[in-house]
Structure 1
Amino acid sequence: MMTMMLMMCSSLVLLGLIGVGASSSGSSSSSPRMKLSYKDLQQFNGVKRFDLERSCCFGALLLDEERGRLFVGARNFLLSLSLDNISKQEQKIYWPAPVDWREECNWAGKDINTDCVNYVKVLHHYNRTHLYACGTGAFHPTCAYVEVGQKLEDHVFRIDPSLVEDGKGRSPYDPRHTSASVLIGDELYAGVATDLMGRDFTIFRSMGQRPSIRTEQHDSRWLNEPKFIAAFGVPESENPDDDKVFFFFRETAVEAQGFGKVTYSRIGQLCRNDMGGQRSLVNKWTTFLKARLVCSVPGNDGTETHFDELRDVFLLQTRDRKNPLIYTVFTTSSSVFQGSAVCLYTMNDIRRAFLGPFAHKEGPNYQWVPFQGKVPYPRPGMCPSKTFGSFESTKGFPDNVIQFARHHPLMFNPVTPLGGRPLFLRTGIPYTFTQITVDRVNAADGHYDVMFIGTDVGSVLKVISVPKGSWSNTELLLEELQVFKDSSSIISMQISSKRQQLYIGSDTGVVQVPLHRCSMYGKACAECCLARDPYCAWDGHTCTRYLPNTKRRFRRQDVRNGDPNALCSGDHQKQRVLEKRLYAVDGSSSFLECIPKSLQAQITWTYQRHPENPREEVRERREAGWGRYAGLL
């Protein structure tokens, strides 16, 4: 709580400013507790930047904590930057498309400078000494093994020309096409367009010892103009034969035919040990299933407002590797309703949808209904393993299982978010969410998942969800940081909990910002408490990084309630923050200004004509700027 006073005797008037700290019960989370411009971040050494002349589109970021490097894929370049300071110690590999490929691309009607170059789109750890990278190669997808050495001291960063290979089915042809891939063991699972025109989209397994496998070709029930967002491997049990790969994408919904082009977001699953069918679905997935991913706000009249366009996915690992949490960013496709949302999903809810009824088209109007007939054994979508059955390979699956899988890839029940609604949403704002990354932070009153949300105007929102009661949470927008001076859209993000840094890519460069700025929350216990930042605590002297394993007598932190009265009551700092005195002449007008450290503090001005008189609230005229008033005296 902060109080400022204006006091004078006889003909002077006492004016007081009372700032009430936002608590979880009565506050609005629409304003950030701290908002910093790019200039502010620069001034306090809060941002480091890397850009590269003659390049752009820094969309592939790969963190390597062991080597202390951030690997970056950009246009015509592979980069190796220092995790401690990305603006220093960079290594570069110039990786352009061959001249004849560029000319061929240009003859096909593509732009020689924007299309007919090599955009590095795929970047994965391959083994202890190499990365695996793929680029568009001027509409000739190409992949390479990048040697990075075994130790940091090796300072190796090069492509072996003899290890460059065809990237079809691994990297998109067109730099505008989205793709998603994950490298598990020595196998690459990729959602990508496999043709020059971008009409044949597939989920494709390549590399490794097992045969290459893909989704059914030119069948809209499997994939219908998909835009791939992310891919992850998740174990199902202790038996590796049950391991599954999940793809997140959005596509034109087949079940919404008759309503025009409607976009649905999806989660698709398949078994890692899928070998395809014996007579049908040869070299095609036999375990591929997909379900709708719903992120919506329930209305009072039973209708739902849908955020239908999936933009990004972050998999937060928990202590149980089989049950990570899935954080997602959605936007709307509506021209009437504009907004963005974060929805959170659990693996239990995802698995429940895939164990539910299959979607089936029947009846005179060919409506989509739950399949009511007998589902063949083994149930489509189950992996061949000793955990759930006796089949050793999908090639041993009966024909009726293969045929059912071929015609029923879609589940009827959608996957709904935890709590049945978005975790965090914004509507009527001049930007949209584009990326998300999450850090699990231990605080004095429990752990908090801190969400860092990138936007299309080059800003990052720092948000936490605080338990409000047994069934509900309240979301707090802690910070809004303008990390790109040119407001370029954020297209990639990586987080290092070890180094407490966030790495952010856009079309114009890469920036690095710390996960917290505790010292900027003010120089008093109350200000530190009002910040409600799980990274920060009052240590008796300053607002500083909270470390759970340290024991300090004066350490104060209360993320859940953020109540400085309870937390800082014994602090001498309290009075210095709470009260200030100013003077004004009775009958005059004065311009009163107060900008609290927390943008969610509630500001009230009071006046007192005589020390013995009670305080009264000033009739004010609110002017531009938070906490600025023209007081009528």
Structure 2
Amino acid sequence: MNFVKILHPYNRTHLYACGTGAFHPVCAFIEAGQHAEEPVFKLDPHHIEDGKGKSPYDPRHTAASVLVGEELYSGVATDLMGRDFTIFRSLGRRPSIRTEQHDSRWLNEPKFVAVFLVPESEDPDDDKIYFFFRETAVERQQGLGKTSFARIGQICRNDMGGQRSLVNKWTTFLKARLVCAVPGPDGADTHFDELRDVFLLQTRDKRNPLIYAIFSTSSSVFQGSAVCVYTMADIRRAFLGPFAHKEGPNYQWVSYQGRVPYPRPGMCPSKTFGTFGSTKDFPDEVIQFARHHPLMYNPVLPHGQRPLFLQATVPYTFTRIAVDRVTAADGHYDVLFIGTDVGTVLKVVSVPKESWHRMEPLLLEELQVFQDSSPVISLQLSSKRHQLYAGSTTALAQLPLHRCSAYGKACAECCLARDPYCAWDGNTCTRYVPNTKRRFRRQDVRNGDPNVLCSEDPRRHTVPQKQLYGVEGSTVFLECIPKSLQAHILWTYQRTLNDPQREVQMDERVVRTERGVLLRSVQRSDAGLYLCHATEHGFTQPLLRLSLEVIGAWQATGVASAGDPQLAAGIPGRKVWYRDFLQLVERPPLGATDKVCQRLWSRGRPPAPARSPAGPPGRGQGEEPRRARRRRTHEGPRAERGPRSASPW
């Protein structure tokens, strides 16, 4: 079997694909046509290549790669057992180069996640390739067993290897720890070291993109996932800092304080930082220092020194991330789409809390994309088509980046959503399009204050109403679900419209749930008006008014005298009472059933023929008219309703 592990656009007409090839890696070019509508998709049999160093042998092994020009940079295991890991350059005109083999200081059981090209300056000779992976830390403390660290590694694109040492090996390879942790008291930080996915968000300056990465924990005690953001300035600062060095009687990792040779290891040979034209011209002491010191001492810390978005004690783990930079009326916002291992996608927006240097995440939506709860293993975002593509092992889904209509039909709901894709246009919540002038358009992602934006909304004070009925002694559920995930629900109660409202107090009989309030063992005093309020961002609005009417148990069961005209008049809505509560109560005794049927039959029906006095009820001549009456009353004509039900009703 051939599991495709690498797939890149090679040029305008071809794709480059590599697969496991039944434990014999193979790569090939696929002709896809110059335009998407062309029905061309075929394999070129004359350009099939060996996939060793590009695709793993085993489909369970991870791999990451990037195609830069005609060169493929891949992080992969190059043997069948998955023990020889390497960062490999292939294709192109330059010689193939890899990392040092079987050296745990370079790579120690890595799991490659992503690879990106980031320019360093205007000179293309300064371009660097950055690898993101997790591995078993060599600098871990003794006695703690295996510890996984997240890493970022760098290599120069024009690296040609050494002349006498590190021949056909990287001479500019360096790596640093990628930290994503929640600061704790006394320095006891909670670390997220299991790197899962990385997204490179391009900015106006191609040399300084933002790095969005998702992490999970390896601890069996604490479970959670986090999103951390890194800047290229912090990454470059770590690689320009001190090198990690192992010395001392206990061989502890410390900061190297000796002399660093020139040119500094990790610098690319170019006219920008020196006079060396190739890495083969580097002095031997530079090559030897780079060989024994690939690890940096200082880690790369996230922006703000803490995770941007965190989810703990939830029944899922983050798997993939895609980020879209959206232009809104009051600035630019980054919208995060996060896939999970239960087939859901979270939509999160990052807004400034007090200033643009301190961001606050808001969870806008949580969609169940795959009904079989299969993990999201791929997320691709198309800003041009406004679509998000999510893939799993069983399906592929296309999702719109914005669903403005889901935020309700009122200006306040659209404003409180704080979705940079959406704005209130005077009538509906619709997509916000920059550079278009609309008189009634309202949007404020940063503050989201409906008191300012929606003062003239005519539907602001209209509240939907619903009628509910409950049987005394049974349970009633008051459902109210806000449109926004950040809203806090408050319930108030009043006996009549003229009575003052008071907050509903929760106890053992009145239970709050995620979808509303459950009244256990309903009492007569529970009847009245219930109002559901949503409080968010300092703004409170009523969402739903529920009118609860409590019916006595003796009315619902029909045990009381059926011939009492006052009782018949006291039943609110004969058909509503009969149909709604017949399924809620237990089957009444046979005698009570006959009385209820006789009473319902007497309303608007001709009187039934008298029962024959011969024989007890249910036998002889008296049984047929009663059965016939029951069928006509509750089942309708046999020809219309089909076979007779086994139920006594």
- State TM-score, norm by structure 2: 0.77
Distance 1:567 1:411, change over 3 A: same
Q: Is the 8 A contact 1:618 1:632 kept in 2?
A: no
Q: Is the 8 A contact 2:201 2:323 kept in 1?
A: yes
User: What CA deviation, in whole Å up to 9, does each residue of 1:318-340 have, x standing for no partner?
Assistant: 00000010000100011011110
Structure 1 residue 509 corresponds to structure 2 residue 398: no
Match of 1:270 among 139, 148, 155: 155
Higher strand share: 1
CA distance in 2: counterparts of 1:629 and 1:554, whole angstroms: 41
Q: Is the 8 A contact 1:536 1:544 kept in 2?
A: yes
Partner of 2:247: 362
Partner of 2:56: 172
Shift of 1:444: 1.3
Shift of 1:148: 1.3
Q: SS where residue 376 of structure 1 aligns?
A: coil
Supply the AA of the counterpart residue of 1:160: D
Q: SS where residue 481 of structure 1 aligns?
A: strand
Shift of 1:556: 1.3
Structure 1 residue 288 corresponds to structure 2 residue 169: no
Partner of 1:480: 366
Distance 1:575 1:330, change over 3 A: same
Q: Is the 8 A contact 1:188 1:207 kept in 2?
A: yes
Shift of 1:595: 2.5
Partner of 1:78: none
Q: Which deviates further from its counterpart, 532-541 or 454-463?
A: 532-541
Structure 1 residue 543 corresponds to structure 2 residue 543: no
User: What CA deviation, in whole Å up to 9, does each residue of 1:315-374 have, x standing for no partner?
Assistant: 000000000100001000110111100000000000000000000001111110010000
Partner of 1:626: 515
Shift of 1:152: 3.4
Partner of 1:63: none
CA distance in 1: counterparts of 2:60 and 2:294, whole angstroms: 28
Partner of 2:343: 458
The structure whose RCO (Cα within 8 Å, separation 6+) is larger is 1
Partner of 2:627: none
Partner of 1:325: 210
Match of 2:20 among 136, 139, 142: 136
Partner of 2:226: 341
CA distance in 1: counterparts of 2:452 and 2:174, whole angstroms: 53
CA distance in 2: counterparts of 1:342 and 1:397, whole angstroms: 39
Q: SS where residue 125 of structure 2 aligns?
A: helix
User: What CA deviation, in whole Å up to 9, does each residue of 1:11-40 have, x standing for no partner?
Assistant: xxxxxxxxxxxxxxxxxxxxxxxxxxxxxx
Shift of 1:551: 1.1
User: What CA deviation, in whole Å up to 9, does each residue of 1:534-562 have, x standing for no partner?
Assistant: 11111111111111121111111121222
Partner of 1:59: none
Q: Is the 8 A contact 2:477 2:516 kept in 1?
A: no
User: What CA deviation, in whole Å up to 9, does each residue of 1:391-430 have, x standing for no partner?
Assistant: 0000000000000000000000000000000000111111
Q: Is the 8 A contact 2:364 2:485 kept in 1?
A: no
Q: What is the number of equivalent residue pairs in this alignment? A: 515
Q: Is the 8 A contact 1:380 1:401 kept in 2?
A: yes
CA distance in 1: counterparts of 2:511 and 2:195, whole angstroms: 40
Shift of 1:222: 0.3
User: What CA deviation, in whole Å up to 9, does each residue of 1:189-237 have, x standing for no partner?
Assistant: 0100111111100000011111100000000000000000000011000
Structure 1 residue 237 corresponds to structure 2 residue 121: yes
Supply the AA of the counterpart residue of 2:188: T
Partner of 2:620: none
CA distance in 2: counterparts of 1:433 and 1:612, whole angstroms: 51
Supply the AA of the counterpart residue of 1:328: A
Q: SS where residue 461 of structure 2 aligns?
A: helix
Structure 1 residue 118 corresponds to structure 2 residue 2: yes
Match of 1:600 among 480, 486, 493: 486
Distance 1:610 1:513, change over 3 A: closer
User: What CA deviation, in whole Å up to 9, does each residue of 1:31-81 have, x standing for no partner?
Assistant: xxxxxxxxxxxxxxxxxxxxxxxxxxxxxxxxxxxxxxxxxxxxxxxxxxx
CA distance in 1: counterparts of 2:5 and 2:425, whole angstroms: 45
Shift of 1:164: 0.5
CA distance in 2: counterparts of 1:550 and 1:125, whole angstroms: 35
User: What CA deviation, in whole Å up to 9, does each residue of 1:144-191 have, x standing for no partner?
Assistant: 011112233432111111111101001111100000101101110010
CA distance in 1: counterparts of 2:476 and 2:74, whole angstroms: 65
CA distance in 1: counterparts of 2:489 and 2:188, whole angstroms: 38
Match of 2:416 among 530, 533, 539: 530
CA distance in 1: counterparts of 2:365 and 2:478, whole angstroms: 26
CA distance in 1: counterparts of 2:526 and 2:82, whole angstroms: 67
Could you tell me the percent identity over the aligned residues? 75
Distance 1:504 1:612, change over 3 A: closer
Match of 2:164 among 276, 279, 284: 279
Match of 2:140 among 256, 260, 265: 256
Supply the AA of the counterpart residue of 1:155: P
CA distance in 1: counterparts of 2:425 and 2:318, whole angstroms: 35
RMSD, matched Cα: 1.9
Supply the AA of the counterpart residue of 2:504: V
CA distance in 1: counterparts of 2:98 and 2:63, whole angstroms: 15
Shift of 1:244: 0.3
Distance 1:608 1:456, change over 3 A: closer
Supply the AA of the counterpart residue of 1:572: P
Shift of 1:603: 2.6
- State TM-score, norm by structure 1: 0.79
Structure 1 segments (4+ residues) deviating >6 Å? 581-585, 587-590
CA distance in 1: counterparts of 2:38 and 2:197, whole angstroms: 35
* Unmatched runs of 5 consecutive residues or more in structure 1: 1-116
CA distance in 2: counterparts of 1:154 and 1:582, whole angstroms: 58
Structure 1 residue 200 corresponds to structure 2 residue 87: no
Structure 1 residue 615 corresponds to structure 2 residue 501: yes
Shift of 1:609: 5.0
Larger radius of gyration: 2
Q: SS where residue 366 of structure 2 aligns?
A: strand
Higher helix share: 2
